[in-house]
Amino acid sequence: MNKKFLAIAIALLLIVGAVFVYIYFQSDEYRVKQYVKNEYGVNVEIIKLSREGIFSNKKYTVSPKNHKDIQFTVVIDYTTDSVIADNYARALEVDNELHKLEKVIPDVEKLGFKDGINDEIRVGFTEEKNSLFLHSISPIEIATFAEKELGRFFELQKLIKQSGALIHHVSVYDMREPSKRKSIHLDMEKIKSVTTKEQLLSHIKKSNWEMVSFYENKKWESEKASVENGRFTFGTKYDEYWFNCRETNEKGECSNILVTLSFKENSLTKANSNLEQDFNSIFTLFEETITPKAKIEYIFIEDGASDPVRFTEQEIAKFGTTSNFIAKNFK
């Protein structure tokens, strides 16, 4: 009886094992591994699977077992279950750039930059761009960046250039929680000719809305103080800047401004006899005083109200006069 039971158990185990083996050899994971082995003679491990939706291609990120520095993708068509693309050749190119970069990585780390995921600096890539993602050990403070941080960012870009590695873009994030995190981005193509800290700061201003907002806010602070009064304030308690610069010109000056105006409760109304005067002073500040002339978008919000209203300067201009704008848009 026991022998018969044992025989049945063994048979069931063999059947289950055979089914498992059959399923495995039909799986996408096996298909990906065999594809890479057949195409490139490389044994890989599956790092992750990603896809954009149920009816979308499967994108497997893989890494050679004997070369963990390399990661590339293999794409399986969801309709045919066949491999349709890989970027192994591109990954090899990027690996070559990483090896060039390796000679300066110790000096990069001495400056206080590191990879925030596994303490190993990697080069990310798309079809055309190579990107370096770093974390700053010390917080990036916009207000003191020029005095305290600019020097090491200047040295960072020098080291990358000296390595000879083809890096198109560098992103540096500090290590605070996401809501407080700051970042600096360097377009290495655009700073090829940068030789001074001042030139680098000008480039950073152009690519960082917080940086240029800080400097533009500081530049026009006295003009803002002469306009603001007890009836309204610029910005809200949640804003770091009294206006935000969304785009810059080639000189790093603001060319697109978003400003929020916070009015006292029950004051965004035609019954407020001071509203036209306040609007005119605001419009004059942003459209005539602040230079060079920028595109302006206003957000008007009232204490205690949940629905702010937004207008561009062009939309406001269509009403002809400020009084007509108020009459048509405020109760």
The per-residue pLDDT for 25 is 39
Strand 130-136 and strand 169-174: the pairing is: parallel
Rounded to a whole number of angstroms, the CA Rg of the chain reads: 29
pLDDT tens readout for residues 152-178? 999 999 999 999 999 999 999 999 998
Global confidence as pTM: 0.79
State yes or no: pLDDT of 44 exceeds 50. yes
CATH architecture, domain defined by 33-86 = Roll (3.10)
Q: Is residue 64 reached through a cis peptide bond, with omega within 30 degrees of 0 on the bond before it?
A: no
CA distance linking residue 88 with residue 64, whole number of Å:
10
Residue scoring higher pLDDT (30 or 306): 30
What proportion of the chain, given as a percentage, has pLDDT over 70? 91
What sign has the CA pseudo-torsion 206, 209, 212, 216? positive
pLDDT band with cut points at 50, 70 and 90 for residue 146 = very high
pLDDT tens readout for residues 99-138? 999 999 999 999 999 985 556 788 889 888 999 999 999 9
State yes or no: pLDDT of 19 exceeds 50. no
The per-residue pLDDT for 3 is 59
- Domain positions in the chain are 33-86, 90-207, 212-329
Q: How far is CA 239 from the centre of its chain?
A: 20
What tokens does 29 get? 């994971």
Per-residue CA distances from 147 to 16, 54, 155, 157, 282 (Å): 68, 50, 14, 17, 32
pLDDT tens readout for residues 91-102? 999 999 999 999
90-207: CATH, from 1.10.10, 3.30.70, 3.30.2320, 3.40.50: 3.30.70
State yes or no: pLDDT of 13 exceeds 80. no
pLDDT tens readout for residues 211-265? 999 999 999 999 999 999 989 999 998 899 999 999 999 888 999 999 999 999 9
State the average pLDDT over residues 298-318. 93
The per-residue pLDDT for 17 is 40
